[in-house]
Amino acid sequence: MAKPCVFASPSSTPLLKDELDIVIPTIRNLDFLEMWRPFFQPYHLIIVQDGDPSKVIKVPEGFDYELYNRNDINKILGPKASCISFKDSACRCFGYMVSKKKYIYTIDDDCFVAKDPTGKEINALEQHIKNLLCPSTPFFFNTLYDPYRDGADFVRGYPFSLREGVPTAVSHGLWLNIPDYDAPTQLVKPLERNTRYVDAVMTIPKGTLFPMCGMNLAFDRELIGPAMYFGLMGDGQPIGRYDDMWAGWCIKVICDHLGLGVKTGLPYIWHSKASNPFVNLKKEYKGIYWQEELIPFFQSVALPKECTSVQKCYLELSKQVKAKLGKVDDYFNKLADAMITWIEAWDDLNPSTATAAKLPNGSSK
């Protein structure tokens, strides 16, 4: 029988109130937070301001936040700031790095509170936390979806030795209304809206890659943070809109190697506005053909046994990126270098986990 996941905090205290930061990349005033107030106000926000640093971003009153613009990023990271993208929402990963909390939730500023089929407003953050606090089951598929949810369990034929599950590192949420399509699909189906509410959370099986969208995403920084790098995108780069995809492929192969789980499904947010498909096409077109080589690369990545920490895995991955993708385009040589810089910057800002990374798994605690 699946052990029920019990969330024991008193009902008056929001779950993980002091252990989770909400990271928001933005270029505009954060009016969208008004709608999220009942759910987000108890938490600390990390706002990563993209674009012109002289612009003043207004944050609705009553929210507890810190804000970083490009000048702040350059000051904090010095020359290592080169690994943080500019003029692309990939800059959000700076927020993951400066957080001191165990968990991160990141959301785009064009995402609003969705309603479930009964009309009730969905507390997306609460569902992500439940996903992260319940185990994952990457080694065998459960046909009734997440066996740890109320009213569900492991079905007949599910090996008992696998019913404890593994720690969940990532919770990938979905979107009602505007679906996360690429530019060609946007162009062909401009009016398509996602209206199907699928009441499921599931583990993405070991060995299977998925397209991770950064719009509505939560993760455990301690388990997987150093691999949540959103790459080099936007200003000065030949590609955009692949930041979250890149991170998704990297975290998945590392989670698979380390025996961690990745969940997808609930919660939904309401994605309000389709981005311009013509602009997107320009950002994406190299990614669209590069990904035909990237997917086979990530599908065949093998990390050696010695890679016992996320940092070690990620540095090994950067080596393989350089060795195998450098010939696809010189961009991947730059990206591989930036992956190393990212880990160095992460370790500078997070010295305790950096130490852990250099010792055999867990022995530093």
Q: Provide the binding-site residues for a copy of itself, judged by CB under 8 A.
A: 1, 117, 140-145, 149, 151-162, 172, 174, 179-182, 184-185, 188-189, 192-200, 204-213, 241-242, 244-245, 248, 264, 284, 288, 291-292, 295
Nearer to a copy of itself, 51 or 240 (CB): 240
Nearer to a copy of itself, 15 or 245 (CB): 245
Nearer to a copy of itself, 213 or 310 (CB): 213
Which backbone phi and psi does 220 adopt, to 5 degrees? Answer: -95, 110
The answer to whether the peptide bond before residue 267 is cis (omega within 30 degrees of 0) is yes
Nearer to a copy of itself, 192 or 330 (CB): 192
Q: Would you say 15 and 131 are in contact if contact means Cβ atoms under 8 Å apart?
A: no
CB of 353 to a copy of itself, least distance (A): 28
CB of 152 to a copy of itself, least distance (A): 7
Containing H/E element for 218?
Answer: strand 216-220
Taking the C-alpha atoms of residue 305 and residue 362, their distance in angstroms, rounded to an integer, is 15
CB of 157 to a copy of itself, least distance (A): 3
Nearer to a copy of itself, 173 or 226 (CB): 173
Nearer to a copy of itself, 221 or 252 (CB): 252
> Which residues are within 8 A (CB) of 62 and not within 5 positions of it... i.e. 6 or more apart?
37, 41
Count the Cβ atoms, other than its own, within 10 Å of residue 355. 11
**What is the rounded radius of gyration, in angstroms, for the C-alpha atoms of the chain?**
20
Which backbone phi and psi does 33 adopt, to 5 degrees? Answer: -70, -25
Taking the C-alpha atoms of residue 137 and residue 146, their distance in angstroms, rounded to an integer, is 8
CB of 100 to a copy of itself, least distance (A): 30
CB of 81 to a copy of itself, least distance (A): 27
CB of 320 to a copy of itself, least distance (A): 19
Count the Cβ atoms, other than its own, within 10 Å of residue 57. 18
